[in-house]
Amino acid sequence: MQKDTKNGEKPQYKKLIIEDSVYKTLYTEKFEKKTKWEKPDERKVYSYLPGTIIKLQVKQGDKVKIGQPLMIFEAMKMMNTVKSTQDGVVKDILVKPGDKFPKNHLLMEFE
């Protein structure tokens, strides 16, 4: 027997697919508003902490190798080095020394 919702209507079950298994369930409001995961664009470098740019170690047009330092930023009184996760050419640098940025801020792009 199905329970009625708060306003007396029958609940609207939705499909939830997990590893090829299909379930009928009720979603919470929080679950429905959750943003879907998308594969990150490997050509873009985002901040993983809020901080302040201390030093840029590359410039636009530079060729970089995996593991090469790109910039240094300060966060929570610690110096953090951002290293390249790929070989490539720096297309654009969107910050400069002294800039403050939030978490998940776009810092740099590769071609």
What the chain holds in terms of domains, given with CATH numbers, is: 44-110 (2.40.50.100)
Query: What local confidence, expressed as pLDDT, does residue 1 receive?
Result: 47
Q: Which residue has the higher pLDDT, 94 or 28?
A: 94
Q: Is the pTM of this model over 0.85?
A: no
Residue type, 55: K
- For residue 25 the two structure tokens come to 């369930």
Q: Per-residue pLDDT tens for 30-73?
A: 988 888 888 889 899 999 999 999 999 999 999 999 999 999 99
**Structure confidence at residue 27 (pLDDT):** 85
